[in-house]
Amino acid sequence: MKAKVHVTLKSGVLDPQGKAVANALVTLGFAGVEAARIGKYVEIDLSETDAIRAKTQVTEMCEKLLANTVIENYRVEIKG
């Protein structure tokens, strides 16, 4: 199975990297850019064949390592 994990900053958390990207896009002529937020995307190949157990495993990975749950949200997708 393959797990896809999207990690993003919680709303209200300052994102200096996103602000820098938004400013750079405006400088490059993309005048309609008002804001940008930067996140992480992780793909994990799993030997687990049960989707529920796979999601449980990946959720635990997020809680322990992949996401800082104080300031970040995460979303897990499992594909068979």
Helical (H) or strand (E) element with 13: none
pLDDT of residue 11: 95
Residues 40, 42: Cα–Cα separation, whole Å: 7
Instruction: Write down the CATH superfamily of domain 2-79.
Output: Phosphoribosylformylglycinamidine synthase subunit PurS (3.30.1280.10)
Residues 6+ positions from 25 with CB-CB distance below 8 Å = 33, 36
- pLDDT tens across 33-67, in order? 999 999 999 999 999 999 999 999 999 999 999 99
Coil vs helix vs strand at 1: coil
Report, as an integer, the average pLDDT of 5-17: 97
Bridge partners (DSSP) listed for residue 73: 8
Nearest-angstrom CA–CA distance, 37 and 8: 8
